[in-house]
Amino acid sequence: MQRGEAALLIRWRELSAAPKLMLVLAALTVGISTLIRLFVGQGDPLWLDEAWTGAIVGQSSWAETLRQTYLDVNAPLYYLFMHAWQGIFGLSDFALRAPSILAGIATPAALMFTRTKGLETSDRIVWAALTGLWIDGLWYSADARCYVFLVLFCALQTSAFANLLAAPNTRRAAVWAAWTSLSILTHYHALFLGAVQGLMFLALAPRQALASWKAAFVFLPMAAWMGVHATRVIQFARPDVAWYDLLRPQDLVWLIQFIFPNLLLLLIPGAGLGLILWRALRREPQQDLASAALWWAGLSALIGVSLVIGLGFLRPSFTLRYLTPYAPGLFLLATLLVRSLNPAWSTPSLSASLAARLAVVVLALDGAASWAMAAYGHTSRPFTYEAASLDMLKAHPDQIVFTWDHPAAQVEAPSQYDVAGGFFFRRAGSKAVITPVLVQPGEDPNLKLLAAAKGPHSAILWLYDMGVHGTQARRFPPKIETLDPRFHCRQYGRGSIGVLGCVQP
């Protein structure tokens, strides 16, 4: 046994039972989350948004990828990274999803080993467990989209913000600005979190904030891109184009469940909050509370998520995925509440606070493992046209007429439908011509699609969602075969989702 290994063994023996258990649970957190990310959902076909990712990043040049990135409503960083990635590893389903798997594995490890002022090792393990085993975060690891990267960046941004408030200086301000810029360039909804934290910094430490003005230069690349892209994003934000419904009061329940799917995890933080309030009313000193900087970092996420949800009640601008930037901060807040559980009857060997931390990690592990067992083999996504495209390829069409029947068609560019509709065909090596059809309000997609299908070997691919307002299929149900018996059609969607594939035998 070498000297380093012997030293580690001595240190391990010196630890009491509780710290040993925390370290074991930390290893289990990373191990179980890794297994889940590697196996759950990875065999599913790419769904609509993932296919759109492949279409954008699979362009033949950086210039064309950048053009498609600009036309899209989403932030650019993930697309640009994925364009470089696919140049090395290709465009297979697994290759497109692999970066999300890696980012998901990195998230709990990063939170455990990143130094956040005021957080003990056990606190970092709890924060890492809640964030790394978050069920929706695990699900996003089977998604060729930006959301797992967003969780990682926003977690590091929240840690950097806590460090900045604890000891403000220009270097820490630049680090926070860098992570904030990366988060916003990954998804624009992270702008709310960055804005809240920036205003907090100015309000809580105005002199130090002004003295750190040079750190603002870090924001310049992000600000420059957003200035260029703002015109395009505003087009998608129009009320007649935005496809979301306004939030209603009854929606608040499933908003809470999105962040805390295992509602048992709310019990211990809830008890911690109750204890804090009880002590405050009795004017007793609050023991073992985190520093003000940590609380402000957690509260920044709570304020940010409140703004986003509040806006969703006023205009069609909200979907559950937009809560993702705030999950790490909310889990930090839960971690701090758990740490507050340390009443006078605690013992040196195992305080109530440490017991609560252990319980939270166990609950997170149990919830994630139970979800993975239930989800394994049953996670197929209905809004996918991969199977339809592969079946249609067997008819060897020379023309694919494609439409995504959606209110965004009012502002989408034909080239976007060209690359999206042709993604699976081109990936398979087909030379079929893609004919994009953008259906406008009041137009019958049946007539437009048939009018565009001119050749004897044409095929039609029509995507729609009956649950989205502004979808023309709600007014003009599919009847391609009735209008033109040359086509044989098959419905690949289910429920409100329509994926209609029509070929000429």
Residues 190-249 have pLDDT tens digits of 999 999 999 999 999 999 999 999 999 999 999 999 999 999 999 998 888 887 788 888
Instruction: Please state, in angstroms and rounded to a whole number, the distance separating the CA atoms of residues 328 and 209.
Output: 24
Instruction: Please state, in angstroms and rounded to a whole number, the distance separating the CA atoms of residues 355 and 346.
Output: 10
In Å, the largest CA–CA distance within the chain is 83
Mean pLDDT on 263-270: 57
Per-residue confidence (pLDDT) for residue 58, from 0 to 100: 95
- The encoded tokens of residue 450 equal 């048939």
Any idea of the CA torsion for 146, 335, 307, 69, to the nearest 10 degrees?
-10
Instruction: Please state, in angstroms and rounded to a whole number, the distance separating the CA atoms of residues 339 and 336.
Output: 5
C-beta separation of 74 from 62 below 8 A: no
The residues spanned by each domain of the chain are 16-375, 386-503
Per-residue confidence (pLDDT) for residue 24, from 0 to 100: 83
C-beta separation of 5 from 77 below 8 A: no
In 3D space, the residue among 350, 308, 327 whose CA is nearest the CA of residue 137 turns out to be 327
pLDDT digits (tens, 9 = 90+) for 395-440: 999 999 999 999 999 999 999 999 999 999 999 999 999 999 999 9
Tell me, rounded to whole angstroms, the distance of Cα 364 from its chain centroid: 19
Query: pTM higher than 0.85 for the full model?
Result: yes
| Across 20-29, 323-332, 441-450, least confident range | 20-29
Instruction: Please state, in angstroms and rounded to a whole number, the distance separating the CA atoms of residues 164 and 293.
Output: 8
pLDDT digits (tens, 9 = 90+) for 159-180: 999 999 999 999 999 999 999 9
Burial class (CB in 10 A: 0-12, 13-18, 19+), 220: exposed
Distances (CA, A) of 59 to 51, 96, 367: 13, 14, 40
For the chain, what is the mean pLDDT? 86
- The encoded tokens of residue 7 equal 């030293």
Per-residue confidence (pLDDT) for residue 193, from 0 to 100: 96
